[in-house]
Structure 1
Amino acid sequence: MRNFKIALILPAIGLLAACSSVGPDKTRDRGNDSKHLSQLQAGIWVDPNGCDHWIIDDGVEGYLSARTDRYGKPVCSGVAPPTVATGDFKRGGGLADLL
């Protein structure tokens, strides 16, 4: 029984050791004209439940993130019908235009 427990614990420790805070910088665009994501124009995509998500499309890569308030609750503004994206998210620019 002891060997069985060790056989279960060792892979779990190995998996946890593989998790680290060091990794690729996911706040940067990796395209030809690499920029920080805060420098790109974001739009809003409304999911089927009616809640907003930030969306950025630079033509090669796309980014999507849930739009939340300061308390982490989803924002469901009704800016567009469900499953519709709005805003000029396919061109460069600043995120400040939408804030």
Structure 2
Amino acid sequence: MTVFRIAFALPVIGLLSACGHGGVGPDKTQDRGTDKKHLSQLRAGIWVDPNGCDHWIIDDGVEGYLSQRLDKYGKPVCSGAAPPTVATGPFKDGSNISDPL
């Protein structure tokens, strides 16, 4: 019976120890550097959230970037550039910088 308890307890302890780091996944706050171009060379489009406010969006095929569009006072811009939940503009043309926005 003791062997059974040990055999059962070890996997349970192993599973619970995985929760020891707070259940947090990989660090997504840092760019892994797999892009071929710097972010400043990519073109942004606009995605409109369900509330009608704009977000800058860039998709270079490897990674995607999203940032809320703010005015000079830090308030959200809600321009009506597209219907809610729709993205518009050349955001998938991350490698094409021939046309300025």
TM-score, normalised via structure 1 length: 0.63
Question: Alpha-carbon deviations, 1:32-52, whole Å to 9, x = none?
Answer: 41x221110100000000000
Inter-partner Cα distance in structure 2 for 1:97 and 1:74: 23
What aligned pairs does 1:37-56 form with structure 2 within 5 A after superposition?
37-56=39-58
Give the direction of change, closer, same or farther, for the CA distance of 1:78–1:61 in structure 2 (3 Å limit): same
Amino acid at match of 1:79: A
TM-score, normalised via structure 2 length: 0.62
Q: Percent identity over the alignment?
A: 72
Give the direction of change, closer, same or farther, for the CA distance of 1:93–1:72 in structure 2 (3 Å limit): farther
Look up the SS of the partner of 1:64 in the other structure: strand
Question: Alpha-carbon deviations, 1:24-82, whole Å to 9, x = none?
Answer: 5x5xx82241x221110100000000000000001110000000011100000000000
Runs of 4+ in 1 over 2 A off after TM superposition: 29-32
State the Cα RMSD in Å: 2.2
Amino acid at match of 2:100: D
Inter-partner Cα distance in structure 1 for 2:62 and 2:45: 16
Q: Does the CA contact (< 8 Å) of 2:35 and 2:62 recur in 1?
A: no
Give the direction of change, closer, same or farther, for the CA distance of 1:30–1:46 in structure 2 (3 Å limit): same
Inter-partner Cα distance in structure 2 for 1:97 and 1:52: 19
The gaps in structure 2 that reach 5 residues or longer are 1-28
Inter-partner Cα distance in structure 2 for 1:68 and 1:85: 17
Aligned to 1:20: none
Higher Rg of the two aligned structures: 2
